[in-house]
Structure 1
Amino acid sequence: MNKETSRYIINYYGGLLSELESKAYRHIISLAKLGNRRKNKKLWEVYEKKELISSDPKVLELVKNGSDEFFRNAAKRILKENPEIVFLNNCEKCGMLARTPEARQCRHCGNKWFDKGN
């Protein structure tokens, strides 16, 4: 699964993340938001108190190989367990993934299907 597809699934079907995956997702996003301020002890404590950053070994295991691998693994699981719910909105002309599940125009080739009554 490529990066675009895994991010699409997490972005639009994130409600299907397990509790542990949700904690890992918050952890990844929070670390990205902290950026260069990770050494700010007070700010770090606030993030920990709000459970945005985790010290849970299970969560850290999920993210140990980076965000791309976490997103790929979580998206594969979601797709495998919920194929009837996850809709990959691929363009019928070029086969590329549309920006959102509701999109009716391909951002890659410009094909439009909003006039087909879908």
Structure 2
Amino acid sequence: MDKELAKYIIKYYGGLLNDYERKAYQHILSMSKLGWRRKNKKLLKAYESKGWISTDPKVLELIKNGTEEFFRITAQRILNDHNEQIFINNCSKCKKLTRTPEARQCRHCGNKWFDESKPE
């Protein structure tokens, strides 16, 4: 699975994450937001107390090989377990992934399909 599709699945179908995956995703987002301020122990403690970053070994295990690997494995699990709930919106002309599941115009080739209904 490519990086773009993995991020699409997690972003738009995040409700299908299990508890540990949800915590790992929040951890990734929070650590990214902290950026260079990660060395600030007071700020890290505040994020930890809010549950935005995790020290849970099961959560950290999910992200031990990096963000991209977490996205790839988690998106594949969601796709395997909930295939019938996932709508991968590819352009009918160029076959590339659209920006969102509801998109009706391709960001890659400009193809438009506003008058067509979304498959159920």
TM-score range, shorter chain: over 0.9
Which stretches in structure 1 are left out of the alignment for 5+ residues?
A: none
How far did residue 103 of structure 1 move? 0.3
**Counterpart-to-counterpart distance in 2, 1:95 and 1:75:** 20
Instruction: Name segments (4+ residues, structure 1) moved above 4 Å.
Output: none
Structure 1 match to 2:96? 96
How far did residue 117 of structure 1 move? 3.9
Letter in 2 for 1:50: K
**Counterpart-to-counterpart distance in 1, 2:68 and 2:23:** 16
**Counterpart-to-counterpart distance in 2, 1:47 and 1:57:** 17
Note if 1:74 corresponds to 2:74: yes
TM-score by structure 1 length?
0.97
How far did residue 43 of structure 1 move? 0.5
Structure 1 match to 2:50? 50
**Taking every aligned residue pair, what percent have the same amino acid on both sides?**
65
Letter in 2 for 1:72: R
Structure 2 match to 1:111? 111
Structure 2 match to 1:87? 87
CA-based RMSD: 0.8
How far did residue 41 of structure 1 move? 1.0
**Counterpart-to-counterpart distance in 1, 2:12 and 2:116:** 23
Letter in 2 for 1:106: C
Structure 1 match to 2:14? 14
1:60-83: CA deviation from partner (whole Å, max 9, x where unpaired): 110001111101111000011111
Aligned residue pairs total 118
